[in-house]
């Protein structure tokens, strides 16, 4: 018995539906088989960054410093402010011995009054029981003695006011820490010969000591010092595994100063102890805060590279080097790269554009 027309239509529709479903199922299975599931893994964007090999170190700062001691006790008139750079032969302060000046001035006034009396030839000044000739000779002798003493007082007054002159050009400072001598070059040689680590020495003083107390100074005490701001050295102890060489350019940060890394040159390297490596660092570009540095904590960066930075775990090693998997329009693309530098977390690579999505 033939099917009605409505039944034939339903059967044809079912067949078409089944046919289309089979095609979709086969296509889906094929797509799932060929789909690169790595595209669903986490990814990061390649950005400009830095990779560095850094060490913490204790160092002692050295520089050319000339200490000026007070030639006498007295009150100080400070003519140049601290931190000002001055040329050689510049008067930076004047010391006045005010107490002795008062005594000399009093004596000077008394002698001057007596001299004025003699010059006026006041009859009251004539010595008694002598004739006029003898009186004239006595007054002349007394006048000569007074004039000689007044000249001596004038010289003594000059000695009570002494100018402090800089022997060399540099930055003026009114503080000392007792480590200014015997000079940086001798100190560097002595420190390189020490077998003990620098961290074992007491950091005394912890901060510079001011030389002026209520503008008064004692004879023989340090008054000021002139700091040569052209060169600055730091002797530091690095871990024994650090890799540095003489002449190498590195970057150094001063912990606690909140400043950026500064360029330094490795002047000397001494590996006389198995636990540390003693190095001498020279800073060509003097910074204002160098003048108060002595014992200092450092961040020493021996290797510093800037470029396109990606996580190390994104690198895939191949027979010819490294590659990374990046997201492309067609899915995942393997891109060969050259590793310039890396640490435990990041690597600087060449051959990858900034902004590329790198699959981890």
Q: What single string gives the DSSP state of each residue in 87-119?
A: -TT-EEEEEE-HHHHHHHHHHHHHHHHHHHHHH
| Residue the block writes with tokens 């000002």 | 84
CATH number, domain of 340, equals: 2.40.420.20
Does the residue 287 lie in any domain?
no
Residues pairing with 264 in the sheet: 250
- What's the pLDDT at 39? 61
Tell me whether residue 124 is in a domain: yes
CA-wise closest residue to 289 among 268, 266, 262: 262
The whole-number average pLDDT for the span 168-185 is: 85
| 118 part of a folded domain | yes
**pTM of the shown model:** 0.65
Q: How many CB atoms lie within 10 A of CB 68?
A: 18
Q: Count of domains in the chain? A: 2
Residue 293 lies inside a defined structural domain of this protein: no
Does a structural domain hold residue 348?
A: yes
Is it true that the peptide bond before 182 is cis, omega within 30 degrees of 0? yes
Alpha-carbon distance 297 to 299, whole Å? 7
Local confidence band at 265 (pLDDT 50, 70, 90 cut-offs): very high
- Please indicate, yes or no, if residue 245 is contained in any of the structural domains: no
pLDDT confidence of residue 1:
45
pLDDT, residue 280, reads 93
Domain for residue 321, yes or no?
A: yes
Domain stops at, among 159, 178, 196: 159
The predicted pLDDT at position 229 comes to: 75
Joined together, the tokens standing for residue 186 give: 């001798």
Is the model's pLDDT at 185 over the cut of 90? Answer: no
DSSP sequence for 240-294 = TT----TT-EEEEEETTTT---EEEEEEEEE--SSSEEEEEEEESS--GGGGG-S
Structural domain of residue 336, as residue ranges? 37-49+307-359
The pLDDT mean for the chain works out to 80
Distance from chain centroid for Cα 75: 34
Flag whether 152 is in a domain: yes
Q: Would you say residue 274 has pLDDT above 90?
A: no
**Tens-place pLDDT, residues 277-318:** 899 999 988 888 888 888 888 988 888 788 888 888 888 888
Domain end: 119, 137, 159, which one? 159
- Picking from 142, 159, 176, the residue at the C-terminal end of a domain is 159
């Amino acid at each position: 018995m033939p099917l009605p027309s409505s039944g034939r239509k339903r059967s044809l529709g079912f067949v078409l539906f089944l046919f289309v479903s089979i095609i979709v199922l086969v296509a889906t299975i094929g797509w799932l088989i060929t789909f690169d599931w790595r595209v669903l893994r986490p990814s990061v964007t390649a950005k400009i960054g830095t990779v560095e090999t850094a060490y913490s170190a204790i160092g002692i700062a050295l520089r050319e410093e000339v200490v000026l001691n007070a030639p006498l006790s007295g009150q100080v008139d400070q003519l140049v402010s601290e931190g000002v750079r001055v040329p050689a032969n510049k008067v930076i302060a004047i010391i006045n011995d005010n107490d002795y000046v008062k005594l000399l001035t009093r004596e000077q006034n008394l002698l001057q009054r007596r001299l004025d009396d003699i010059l006026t030839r006041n009859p009251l000044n004539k010595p008694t029981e002598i004739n006029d000739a003898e009186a004239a000779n006595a007054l002349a002798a007394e006048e000569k003695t007074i004039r000689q003493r007044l000249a001596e007082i004038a010289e003594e007054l000059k000695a009570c006011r002494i100018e402090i002159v800089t022997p060399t050009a540099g930055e003026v400072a009114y503080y000392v820490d007792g480590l200014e001598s015997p000079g940086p070059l001798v100190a560097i040689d002595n420190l390189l010969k020490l077998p003990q680590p620098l961290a074992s020495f007491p950091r005394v003083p912890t901060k510079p000591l001011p030389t002026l107390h209520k503008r008064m100074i004692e004879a023989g005490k340090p008054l000021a010092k002139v700091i040569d701001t052209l060169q600055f050295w730091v002797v530091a102890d690095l871990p024994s595994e650090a890799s540095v060489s003489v002449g190498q350019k590195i970057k150094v940060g001063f912990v606690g100063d909140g400043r950026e890394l500064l360029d330094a040159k490795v002047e000397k390297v001494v590996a006389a102890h198995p636990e540390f490596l003693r190095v001498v660092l020279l800073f060509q570009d003097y910074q204002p805060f160098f003048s108060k540095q002595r014992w200092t904590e450092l961040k020493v960066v021996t290797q510093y590279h800037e470029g396109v930075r990606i996580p190390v775990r994104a690198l895939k090693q191949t027979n010819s080097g490294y590659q990374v998997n990046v997201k492309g329009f067609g899915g995942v693309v393997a891109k060969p790269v050259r590793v310039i530098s890396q640490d435990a977390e990041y690597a600087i690579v060449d051959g990858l554009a900034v902004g590329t999505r790198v699959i981890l």
